[in-house]
A and B are shown apart, each in its own frame.
Chain A
Amino acid sequence: MLFVELRFFFFFAVVLLIYWSLQTNNARKSFILAASYYFYGSWDWRFAGMLLVLSTGDWFFALRLSDTGDARLRKIYVTASLVMNLSVLAFFKYFHFFVGSAIIFAEQFKFHLSGPTLKIILPVGVSFFTFQSLSYTIDVYRREIAPVRSLRDYLMFASFFPQLVAGPIVRPKYFVPQMVSKRVLTLEDIKGAMYLFLLGYIKKVCIADNLSPYVDRVFNHPATFSGFASITAVWLYTIQIFCDFSGYSDMAIAVAALLGYKLVLNFDAPYLAVSIQDFWRRWHISLSSWIRDYIYISLGGRSQKSRLITYRNNLITMLAGGLWHGAAWTFVAWGGVHGTGQVIHQEFKHAVPLNQNHEPWRKLMGWFITLNFVCLGWILFRSPSFATAMLMTKRYLLLDRGGSDTIPLWLAAIGPVLLLCQLMMRRMKFGERVCSLSLPRFALLYGGAWALALSLLPLGYRPFIYFQF
């Protein structure tokens, strides 16, 4: 069940009606838990069972490690939680990747191994809910939060349907306190959530899904397309992935808000970033803060002794972040490229200290270089193979003129236009202005905006890109 499907609208209307008619917080939490499992089970009931087992396991381990003072036992419990979650992730998401890579590696030494015949279905959102569960047990282990005593409450946190399948990854220290009290909604909250949902819908459906056929055509047959078509396709993919994922996040935040819960901001105009570090502070914020807190910091974070150690930690973190996105070496390489970019940028900052007089120019140059660097990175991310990535990169850098097939010229203008729109909407505080309208005016505008959005519905069905992660 996707947020953009008609059946989700029916499902959510029923959920809202029942949820707000329930009088006690406990009843509401129990109901949300049931609705969340129904939502997840609509993909595959077997995986709802797996989610239940994982969540119950983490709830149990967290309780045990909190209740014991024995450091050795605490380590055992947190390790058990880590092993359980990472095993599920490794099996469902990375089994074929690891085995396939091992076979290729063995072939280098003339060992011929046959691949497994096992067919593994990837549970939707497995990368998200395992990371969310992990952050809970690690936080309890680090004594940063108290464990959740109620199994029902923990299960609800771990399966909260608005963000279950594609994030944002919710941190327990942010979410669990909200579960304690009965949620309330103001008219402003409702208008804000409705605005955000429509904005997310427009990003995902009207922009990302309409662009994806052009991107697919070029990336599926790159050799036949011209250099200009290839560059345009990279720009379009840059827009598509942002609108697809941030649109989903917007809708998730809006759906949660209509239930009275606040989720963290996941995107903050990442294509306006002026450096690669800045980009990662704005892109998929819930993941980048997760890998910072649980991988980068665990590795030692920023080292006082040597910049090299910091860079090593940075690279490992980004490689892991790349692998999180997909079970392919192209994703790992993408993470590596971003890690290298961060290292180069830090070295640059070290070598060329900031000069106040040059700051506007430096920012402008920084934005231009960062945006193009990110675009180049998306080539690796989107390409099905290194060969395709290499060809598309050459085209992007004007080192290869390409074939004769084209896509409409005007599509190249979409990126700058949307970037300008985003800049203006931020400057004008467009969202705040719309939400500050009186209810009748807001409703009038909202109805009109939906009429326009529906007329821009694309062909057919396209799932969210981030579902595969």
Chain B
Amino acid sequence: MSSKTNTIGLREIAAAVGMFALGFVVIAGVVHAGIRDPFHLHADFRSEKLLLLDRWSGKAFAASFGSSRVHEGFDPRRFDQTMAGGLDETKSVNLAIAGGSQTEQRLTALEFLKHLQAPPDDGTSGPKACMVLLELSAGANFGTAFLVHPRTINIYDWDTTRFLMRLTSPQMSRSQRVGRIGFALLAMGMHSINLGMLSSMIFPAPMDTLRMGYETREDRRGLLILEDSRSDQQRLQKIIASSPKQPEIVQAMILPGNRELVDELEAASPVRNLEVVYAVFPNLSDLSVQTEYPDSIATAHGLAPILNLARPDLYPQFYQTTMWFDEMHLSEQGAGLVTKQLAENLKTWNAAHGEPGRCER
């Protein structure tokens, strides 16, 4: 730069940059240490679910997690109704979130476990099982639109990033691996410098009362039911009608992170006999490409079942237009039907592999 600025030497500039970095790091460190819960779960979308979790604390002993497919697809009322009568009887709540990722479901599940109590054993009928139902096919990370968002930044600490790294495999394409890990590293960087973390604590996002209404009326317990629209039904009809007769079959990849998550949740559980279940919810694209999963994942705590409902060959009844809100999400009727099947499959699994013991402290 001209004139007097030329008198500033490179050493002074380097020293100023160094001092800037020092000031930045010191204050960022102080703020990070000052945030009592640097791993701050609250953020819009998720906050509504955490409020729901709070309301059901001590009253619900099973919960589903994952993305909008579960959010709009898991009906706790129907699940409990089907599970009633046995040792695996549940009282459940839907804690899945629109756009939810593997990283988010891991953390909301851990939060759920923090508050989990064993169901009362007063000799009467009622819930006896404690359960965490995870979505195996949820995206690993959030969509890129959520990269600079407290929903991501607040939770991408080192543990989350490490978990995400375990959700990669050498069999994946390089771009997928780099994208997945790159997102996590960027988010962790922003987490480390507290980007937006203070403001999301001072100015928490307002609760979406309208959405909460959709999720809580008629004892929905977190199941989101949106109104169907006629034009959607016509579009869905077209999608179903134009699907190939035989879908392409692809094999799913079970990643180390999937297995380790079960172990982590079991280890974090404050109760004994917690059952961790993976589920795959249907999607209209299953009619074109059907993904096959193994029946279970072997973990340090035994086998964790994988209940795959995305099987048009086994469950053609799911692939009717009335079962869908759109091509990704089930309608109320679809959610009821799929959840019932999920519960029946779980009962069958439990019967075949031994009933889980009663959930207790």
* Chain B hits for A456, CB < 8 A: 196, 198-199, 202
Measured CB to CB, the closest approach of chain B to A457, in angstroms, equals 4
Q: How large is the interface on A (under 10, 10 to 19, 20 to 34, 35 or more residues)?
A: 35 or more
Q: Per-residue 0/1 for B4-27: is the Cβ within 8 Å of any A Cβ (1 yes, 0 no)?
A: 110010001001111111111111
* Chain B hits for A20, CB < 8 A: 1-2
* Chain B hits for A186, CB < 8 A: 3-5
In this complex, how many residues of chain B approach chain A with their Cβ under 8 Å: the count is 38
Measured CB to CB, the closest approach of chain B to A223, in angstroms, equals 14
Q: Per-residue 0/1 for A444-469: is the Cβ within 8 Å of any B Cβ (1 yes, 0 no)?
A: 11111111101111111000000000
**Is the CB–CB distance between B149 and A460 below 8 Å?**
yes
Q: Per-residue 0/1 for A202-230: is the Cβ within 8 Å of any B Cβ (1 yes, 0 no)?
A: 00001000110110010000000000000
* Chain B hits for A460, CB < 8 A: 149
**Is the CB–CB distance between A187 and B199 below 8 Å?**
no
* Chain B hits for A459, CB < 8 A: 43-44, 149-150, 196, 199-200, 205
**Is the CB–CB distance between A184 and B3 below 8 Å?**
yes
* Chain A hits for B150, CB < 8 A: 459
**Is the CB–CB distance between A448 and B196 below 8 Å?**
no
When A20-B2, A446-B23, A455-B31 are in contact, do A440 and B199 touch as well, CB less than 8 Å?
A: no
**Is the CB–CB distance between A443 and B23 below 8 Å?**
yes
Is A73 among interface residues, defined by CB-CB distance under 8 A?
no
Measured CB to CB, the closest approach of chain A to B178, in angstroms, equals 20
Is A327 among interface residues, defined by CB-CB distance under 8 A?
no
* Chain A hits for B198, CB < 8 A: 452, 455-456
**Is the CB–CB distance between A452 and B199 below 8 Å?**
no
Among residues of B, the one whose C-beta sits closest to the C-beta of A19 is B1
Distance in angstroms between the alpha carbons of A186 and B205 in the assembled complex: 43
**Is the CB–CB distance between B19 and A443 below 8 Å?**
yes
When A206-B199, A447-B27 are in contact, do A187 and B193 touch as well, CB less than 8 Å?
A: no
Is B197 among interface residues, defined by CB-CB distance under 8 A?
yes
Distance in angstroms between the alpha carbons of A451 and B22 in the assembled complex: 10
* Chain A hits for B316, CB < 8 A: none
Distance in angstroms between the alpha carbons of A213 and B204 in the assembled complex: 10
Is B244 among interface residues, defined by CB-CB distance under 8 A?
no
**Is the CB–CB distance between A447 and B20 below 8 Å?**
yes
Q: Per-residue 0/1 for B28-56: is the Cβ within 8 Å of any A Cβ (1 yes, 0 no)?
A: 10010000000000011000000000000
**Is the CB–CB distance between A450 and B196 below 8 Å?**
no
Among residues of B, the one whose C-beta sits closest to the C-beta of A442 is B16
Among residues of A, the one whose C-beta sits closest to the C-beta of B205 is A459
**Is the CB–CB distance between A187 and B8 below 8 Å?**
yes
Is A421 among interface residues, defined by CB-CB distance under 8 A?
no
**Is the CB–CB distance between A443 and B20 below 8 Å?**
yes
Distance in angstroms between the alpha carbons of A455 and B38 in the assembled complex: 12
* Chain B hits for A190, CB < 8 A: 5
Among residues of A, the one whose C-beta sits closest to the C-beta of B20 is A447
When A187-B5, A459-B150 are in contact, do A451 and B202 touch as well, CB less than 8 Å?
A: no
* Chain B hits for A213, CB < 8 A: 203, 205-206
Residues of A173-193 at the interface with B, using a CB-CB cut-off of 8 Å, are: 182-187, 190
Q: Per-residue 0/1 for B168-208: is the Cβ within 8 Å of any A Cβ (1 yes, 0 no)?
A: 00000000000000000000000001111111101101100
Among residues of A, the one whose C-beta sits closest to the C-beta of B13 is A439
**Is the CB–CB distance between A185 and B196 below 8 Å?**
no
Measured CB to CB, the closest approach of chain B to A404, in angstroms, equals 12
Distance in angstroms between the alpha carbons of A457 and B203 in the assembled complex: 10
Q: Name, among B20, B31, B193, B205, the residue most crowded by chain A CB atoms within 10 Å (CB to CB).
A: B20
Distance in angstroms between the alpha carbons of A450 and B27 in the assembled complex: 9
* Chain B hits for A407, CB < 8 A: 206
Cβ 8 A contact of A458, one of B19, B24, B203: B203
Cβ 8 A contact of A185, one of B5, B27, B202: B5
**Is the CB–CB distance between A450 and B5 below 8 Å?**
no
* Chain A hits for B22, CB < 8 A: 444, 447
When A187-B8, A210-B202, A213-B203 are in contact, do A451 and B28 touch as well, CB less than 8 Å?
A: yes
* Chain B hits for A182, CB < 8 A: 2
* Chain A hits for B25, CB < 8 A: 447, 451
Distance in angstroms between the alpha carbons of A459 and B197 in the assembled complex: 10
**Is the CB–CB distance between B194 and A455 below 8 Å?**
yes
When A213-B205, A455-B198 are in contact, do A185 and B2 touch as well, CB less than 8 Å?
A: yes
Distance in angstroms between the alpha carbons of A441 and B15 in the assembled complex: 10
Among residues of B, the one whose C-beta sits closest to the C-beta of A411 is B203
Q: Per-residue 0/1 for B198-235: is the Cβ within 8 Å of any A Cβ (1 yes, 0 no)?
A: 11101101100000000000000000000000000000
Measured CB to CB, the closest approach of chain A to B19, in angstroms, equals 4
* Chain A hits for B197, CB < 8 A: 455
**Is the CB–CB distance between B195 and A457 below 8 Å?**
yes
**Is the CB–CB distance between A439 and B3 below 8 Å?**
no
Distance in angstroms between the alpha carbons of A210 and B195 in the assembled complex: 14
Distance in angstroms between the alpha carbons of A330 and B19 in the assembled complex: 50
**Is the CB–CB distance between B1 and A439 below 8 Å?**
no
Can you list 24 pairs linking A and B with CB atoms under 8 Å apart?
A182-B2, A184-B1, A184-B2, A213-B203, A213-B206, A214-B206, A440-B15, A440-B16, A440-B19, A441-B19, A443-B16, A443-B20, A445-B23, A446-B20, A447-B23, A449-B27, A451-B23, A451-B194, A454-B193, A455-B193, A455-B198, A456-B198, A458-B199, A458-B203
Please give me the 8 A-B residue pairs with the lowest Cβ-Cβ distance, nearest first: A447-B23, A184-B3, A447-B24, A447-B20, A448-B27, A451-B27, A448-B23, A455-B194
Extra inter-chain contacts (9) besides given A185-B4, A443-B16, CB under 8 Å: A185-B2, A186-B4, A439-B16, A443-B17, A446-B23, A447-B24, A451-B28, A456-B199, A458-B199
Which chain A residues have a beta carbon within 8 Å of chain B's beta carbons?
20, 182-187, 190, 206, 210-211, 213-214, 217, 407, 439-452, 454-460
